[in-house]
Structure 1
Amino acid sequence: MSSAGLKFAVFTASLPEWTPEEAVGKLAEQGWDGIEWRVVDQQPPAGAGSFWTGNKCTWPLATFEDDVPRIKEITEKAGLGMPSLGAYARSHEIEDVERLMRGAAALGVKQMRVTVGKPGPEGYNAAFAQRRKEYHRVAELAEQYGVKALIELHHQSLTSSASSAARFVEGFDPRYVGVIHDIGNMLREGYEFDAWSFEILGEYLAHVHVKNAAPVAKPVEGANRTDWEWAWAPMRHGFGNLPKLFAALREHGYTGWVSVEDFSTEVPLEDRVRDNLAYLKEITS
């Protein structure tokens, strides 16, 4: 745990090479406080596994409730906490949301992500209104099972910024609906000054994800111009100023969990994860 009272976990989407047993063992050995399990039915990988397909550190949604005893046993044996579930069910997939909440409650996890996705042909405003309607049922389930539903700040989604998320959750009870702040996603789209973004979210700030990214130049072949795109970057070397982020978190009074999901690949996985914890301790001491 940091001197600021924060607790640090790793979201297992970023641990594709490790089995769950390997993950809890290595994170405990390195000194992490917790683990945020990824739960989703994956598509078979076309080749080698990756963060998003063939990820070994993912629990299938189809068997999640049956897997709860094993998840609980290996996590508690390693002495790790579980700040949240990294689930992928959307607000309209209400049967999956309820299944996940039942499993989370049995596991002792107090919050989980319930995504709202991006607008379709109906456009942003119509999709935003529809997802808000759906989230009323999600909030009812959250109250029923004691598992808070979290909306993530994510680029190319209905809630890419703190302002859009605050507008989405307005009127919901913050005991049952909250927001995940994610600077890495917000760099790509939706970034608002750190201190202001925390103030905007207020009591709805329920969890924090941390990763980093950087713009990469892409010269356009046959044209005298350059396009740019974002790529994931090591936490120490990305565009996001993480020391300022944590200073703003401290000023806001946040003392909850921070989950790292580092999708950079320049450094081997075990070294990358170990150095991320060292860096977090450096900038929060």
Structure 2
Amino acid sequence: MKLAAFSGVFIEHSIQEAMHLTKRLGLDGIEIAAREPHVSPSSSMTRVKEVKALSDSLALPIPVLASYIGGFSDADDGQSEKYLEEFKRLLEIAGVLDTRSIRVFPGGPNAFKAQDYHYAKAAHWMGLCAEEAAKHGVNVLMEIHNNSLVETVDSSLRLLDMIGRDNVGMIHDAGNMYITDTDYGRESVLRLGRRLMHVHVKDELRIAELGAPGTFADTTRHGRELFLQSRLGEGGADHRPLFDALRETGYSEWVTLECHAPFPAYERLEHDLAAVRKLIATA
């Protein structure tokens, strides 16, 4: 397995600083949050080429552009067309950065609230993204995410089957799946199979009240619940079964560290990197 930092953890830094910090941590690559002040669909090619030059000089590949494009199931056709054009621009950027995957959000609402038309609309536009991506040899990734159509393995497989494209797959995220209160262990990995194309790791914790740094509210099938963003091992998401299953299935792709706990960015990634290396070593 190859380990990357999520540049969104370093969003208060320039992309150049984020890349240097990632290299200092000893990670293998960096997944870029495709929004300002890092790299976005509006970034100039001059700037993108500068990022690529730094990537090469640091020997720090960029496996994924984590875009914030999407929400097709909730958008009108005009907005969806705009998202598709932004995605095409990211494909050009990915070509320069030698990035083979782009994250796109299909939209919401929560899977347990969604109607058939939400899935049909998302499948149509995600299929158009996949068609464009295939021309560039790029995969389209959907992140298993609370408060979305793809918040469980079941709902993810449903949408994947409707899209029907080999270059569309899932980002497994145990932290998000903990929030949703769905299985994120061995069975989730086995059921996704070849459609599991990338992994995010972060920890979360159910709590009783808001107010402390890192706390937030979300809607789940249980209603309104409260959570604390946590470092690995300090929250409620047990990543042990996940890493055992990744080892069992021979997963050799990227794992991105995405901790948003209320600690300095470098410190929280340093903590999570040590935890992930231990999980891999003992899997």
TM-score by length of 1: 0.84
- The residue number in structure 2 matching 1:100 is 90
Whole-angstrom CA distance in 1 between matches of 2:46 and 2:140: 21
Question: 157, 165, 187: which is aligned to 1:173?
Answer: 165
Aligned pair 1:211/2:202, yes or no?
yes
Q: How does 1:68-87 map to 2 (within 5 A)?
A: 68-87=48-67
CA contact (8 A) 2:204 2:237 kept: yes
Question: 87, 91, 101: which is aligned to 1:111?
Answer: 101
The number of residue pairs the alignment matches comes to 255
Residue identity in the other structure for 1:208: V
Please state whether the residue corresponding to 1:88 is helix, strand or coil: strand
Whole-angstrom CA distance in 1 between matches of 2:243 and 2:92: 33
Question: 39, 43, 51: which is aligned to 2:34?
Answer: 39
Please state whether the residue corresponding to 2:105 is helix, strand or coil: coil
- Unaligned runs of 5+ residues in structure 2 are 73-79, 211-223
CA deviations on 1:71-102 (whole Å, 9 max, x unpaired) are 10112211112111111111532111111112
Percentage of identical aligned residues = 29
Please state whether the residue corresponding to 2:209 is helix, strand or coil: strand
Please state whether the residue corresponding to 1:59 is helix, strand or coil: coil
How far the C-alpha of 1:271 sits from its partner, in A, is 1.8
The 10-residue stretch of structure 1 (200-209 or 111-120) with the greater mean CA deviation from structure 2: 111-120
CA contact (8 A) 1:195 1:252 kept: no
Aligned pair 1:281/2:277, yes or no?
yes
Aligned pair 1:242/2:244, yes or no?
no
CA contact (8 A) 1:65 1:102 kept: no
Aligned pair 1:153/2:144, yes or no?
yes
Whole-angstrom CA distance in 2 between matches of 1:24 and 1:204: 29
- Residues 210 and 64 (structure 1), Cα distance of their counterparts in 2 relative to 1, 3 Å cut: farther
Residue identity in the other structure for 1:232: Q
- The residue number in structure 1 matching 2:173 is 182
- Residues 152 and 190 (structure 1), Cα distance of their counterparts in 2 relative to 1, 3 Å cut: farther
CA contact (8 A) 1:155 1:190 kept: no
- The residue number in structure 2 matching 1:59 is 39
TM-score by length of 2: 0.84
Please state whether the residue corresponding to 2:69 is helix, strand or coil: coil
Whole-angstrom CA distance in 2 between matches of 1:19 and 1:101: 22
CA deviations on 1:156-196 (whole Å, 9 max, x unpaired) are 0010011111111116232x111111111111115214111
Please state whether the residue corresponding to 1:207 is helix, strand or coil: strand
CA contact (8 A) 1:124 1:158 kept: no
- Unaligned runs of 5+ residues in structure 1 are 1-5, 42-55, 220-226
Please state whether the residue corresponding to 1:215 is helix, strand or coil: strand
The 10-residue stretch of structure 1 (198-207 or 65-74) with the greater mean CA deviation from structure 2: 65-74
How far the C-alpha of 1:64 sits from its partner, in A, is 5.2
